[in-house]
């Protein structure tokens, strides 16, 4: 299996009778939730992994928007030195 298709799911005991569910998708997005049962943990993981491509597209759209804002700020002379103008 190539690294591009690697998904990771870890379920461990946490506190208050909850299970800690940690997930990493093939784009290295990370999520941690707490669920009361293994069945609930698997159900949430299935949902979260199913949203992998939509999450990547949303992240790409956000990154493009930030780059466009930087470009506009630079053209307007707002960016100077290490200041990015996004504060």
| DSSP bridge pairs for 32 | 22
pLDDT at position 86, please?
58
φ/ψ (deg, to 5) at 13: -70, 140
Percentages (nearest 5) of helix, strand, coil residues in the chain: 45, 25, 30
Residues with pLDDT less than 70, the chain: 1-4, 80-87
| DSSP bridge pairs for 80 | 83
pLDDT at position 61, please?
97
Q: pTM of this prediction?
A: 0.75
């Amino acid at each position: 299996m190539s690294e591009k298709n690697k998904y990771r799911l870890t379920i461990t005991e946490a506190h208050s009778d909850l299970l800690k569910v940690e997930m990493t998708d093939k784009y290295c997005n990370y999520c941690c939730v707490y669920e009361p049962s293994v069945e609930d943990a698997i159900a949430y993981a299935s949902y979260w992994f199913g949203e992998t491509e939509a999450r990547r597209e949303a992240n790409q759209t956000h990154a493009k928007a930030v780059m466009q804002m930087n470009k506009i700020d630079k053209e307007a002379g707002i960016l100077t030195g290490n200041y990015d103008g996004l504060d």
